[in-house]
Every structure is written in C-alpha cells, then in structure tokens.
C-alpha cells in the first residue's frame, strides 16, 4: 500500500472529497492573489504549496474514481486540434 493509499484509507472517501474541494479553493485563492500582485516570490511559493496539496488530493481521488489517462489524452488532443484551427 502506498502512502497516498494509506492516507485515503484512513480518512475515507467523503472526508477526502471535502478536503479536495477545500484544497482546490485554496489554490484558486492563491492564483488570484498572485495575479493581482504580479506574482511576487511569496505568491509563487504559495501557489506551489497549493498545487502540491491539490496534486496529493487528485492522486487520492484516482483511487475511488479510477484512471483518467485516456480522458486526459483526449482533452489534450482536442485542445491541440483547436489551436491548429485558430
């Protein structure tokens, strides 16, 4: 069992869904604050911290919801196709 799996198993789905939402909100706040401030070194460090938290939570959400690799690849291709058309 990986560390991520241990954390998910300990807290469970509902708690970790709530935590994921909380961390995503904190990332949004950090990004918007940095955007308003011109991304000072402190802002960049804060965004990095929140990105790390969101990444950890996303890894936990993959446990109950499954792999998203195929969907990610489709979305990347769709965006690249859209870029060519623009």
- 31-69 pLDDT, tens digit per residue, is 999 999 999 999 999 999 999 999 999 999 999 999 999
Name the CA radius of gyration of the chain, rounded: 16
Q: What is the pLDDT of residue 77?
A: 98
Query: With a threshold of 0.85, does the pTM exceed it?
Result: yes
Alpha carbon distance 20, 59 (integer Å): 10
- End-to-end alpha carbon distance in the chain: 46
**Token pair 């011109």 in the structure block, residue:** 38
Q: Which among 39, 23, 42 has a CA at the least distance from the CA of 31?
A: 39
- Residues 55/29/33/40 CA torsion (nearest 10 deg): -20
Q: What pLDDT does residue 30 have?
A: 98
Give 49's DSSP letter: H
pLDDT digits (tens, 9 = 90+) for 13-38: 999 999 999 999 999 999 999 999 99
pLDDT of res. 33: 97
Give the per-residue pLDDT at 49. Answer: 98
């Amino acid at each position: 069992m990986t560390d991520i799996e241990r954390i998910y198993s300990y807290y469970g789905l509902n708690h970790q869904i709530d935590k994921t939402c909380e961390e995503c909100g904190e990332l949004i706040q950090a990004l918007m604050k940095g955007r308003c401030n011109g991304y000072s070194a402190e802002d960049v460090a804060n965004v990095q911290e929140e990105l790390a938290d969101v990444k950890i939570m996303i890894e936990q959400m993959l446990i109950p919801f499954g792999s998203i690799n195929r969907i990610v690849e489709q979305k990347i291709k769709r965006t690249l196709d859209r870029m060519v058309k623009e």
